[in-house]
Amino acid sequence: MKKRGQYGQPSSSFGESVIPLVLILILAIFIAGKFGLVDMHSIPLIGGLFPAPYLKVMVVGQASTGLLALLTAEDYRVAGVSYAGSIPQEAIYPGVFNNIDIIVLQNERGTTCDRTARKTIADAVKGGKKLIVIGDACTRVSDDPNALGWDIGIGSLGDVMPVRYGGVIAHERTGQGYIYADGRFKIIAQDNPIFNGILNFGFTGKLISVFPNANSNVLAYVDMYGGKPTSPATYAIVESTGFMNGKTLYFAFDPSTTSRNMFLNSLLYVKNAKG
C-alpha cells in the first residue's frame, strides 16, 4: 500500500492536453488564410482579415477596351482577379499557361489562330484549365483562309467548345454568322452564380450566331436585338459539360458591354467549376 505523499502528480485532463493542439491548428489555418492557401475571404465577420485568392487571368489576342477596363479595375483586383496581360496567338507554345488559372480568348484585331495555338489552348482545358471564349475569336486558321469554325482539324478547339459556329457547312461559309446591334439576353439558368445581382440584361456590338454542342448547357439566349424579338432564338451564354476538371464558358457578345458584375461572377464561377 502506498503511503500518503507517494502518489505521483495528478495527470492533466484530456481537455487541457487538447487545448495546445487546437491553438496550433487555429494558428496554422490563420497563416494559410493569410498566404491565400485556404480561402477564408468569404467567411462572415473575419473574411475582411484575409486576402481574396488570386485568379491569374490571361487574354489570348487583344481584349476589347471595355473588357480590359474590367480586368484592370480596382474592384476586380480586390475580388482576387490578377490580370497577367495578353499574349498574341503567335507566341503561344506548350506550357505557356502553366501558371494561369483562366484563359480568355478574345481578339479585337482578327479571328485567326494557327493550329499550334488552338491545340495548345484545347490541351490546357483538357488538363484542367478554364477557358472563356468571346465572340468569334479563333474561328479561322492561318493556313486555310477558306475554313471557318472552332472544330477545324484534329485535336482542335472544337474538342472543348460548348458551341459550333453558325452560318457554315463543312467549314465553308454559307451565310452571315454575325450581326451588329443592341440586344437583350434572357436568363435560362436562374440559379447559376454568374447572374447573381445582375440587373442589366442589355448588350451592344457584335453578336455571333452559334449552336450548342452535345457537351453544353445553355445559360442564356438573346430574346431581342435591333429593337425586335429574335426568331428563332439566338444563343447568348453557353457552358461546357462533361469534362473532368476543365471548363469552357462561351459568350456570343462582349460581356463588358453589359453588367460589370456578370463578368466578375463568371471568372469566380469558372475558377472552381468542373465539367
Could you tell me how many residues make up the chain?
275
Looking at the fold, whether 190 and 220 belong to one and the same domain comes out as: yes
Q: How many CA atoms lie within 13 A of 243 on its CB side?
A: 27
Looking at the fold, whether 137 and 230 belong to one and the same domain comes out as: yes
What is the 8-class DSSP label of residue 144?
B
Looking at the fold, whether 81 and 166 belong to one and the same domain comes out as: yes
Looking at the fold, whether 116 and 32 belong to one and the same domain comes out as: no
Which uninterrupted H or E stretch holds 230? strand 228-240
Looking at the fold, whether 209 and 230 belong to one and the same domain comes out as: yes
Q: Helices marked H in 131-228 — which ranges?
A: none
**Domain total for the chain?**
2
Report helix, strand or coil for 187.
strand
Is 10 buried (19+), middle (13-18) or exposed (0-12) by CB count in 10 A? exposed
* Sites in the chain below the pLDDT cut of 70: 1-19, 21-53, 168-176, 231-232, 275
Residue 61: count other Cβ atoms within 10 Å of its Cβ: 22
Question: Shortest CA distance to 149 belongs to which of 130, 172, 131?
Answer: 172
Domain residues for 32?
Answer: 14-48
CA distance 17 to 22: 9
pLDDT of amino acid 147: 86
Looking at the fold, whether 143 and 18 belong to one and the same domain comes out as: no
CB 105 within 8 A of CB 150: no
pLDDT of amino acid 261: 93
pLDDT of amino acid 227: 78
CB 178 within 8 A of CB 208: yes
Looking at the fold, whether 196 and 236 belong to one and the same domain comes out as: yes
pLDDT of amino acid 32: 53
pLDDT in tens, 32-53: 554 554 555 555 545 455 555 6
CATH of the domain at 219: 3.40.50.880
- Does a structural domain hold residue 257? yes
Looking at the fold, whether 42 and 81 belong to one and the same domain comes out as: no
CA distance 116 to 122: 10
Looking at the fold, whether 136 and 195 belong to one and the same domain comes out as: yes
Looking at the fold, whether 121 and 38 belong to one and the same domain comes out as: no
Looking at the fold, whether 22 and 123 belong to one and the same domain comes out as: no
Cell numbers describing residue 87: 499574349
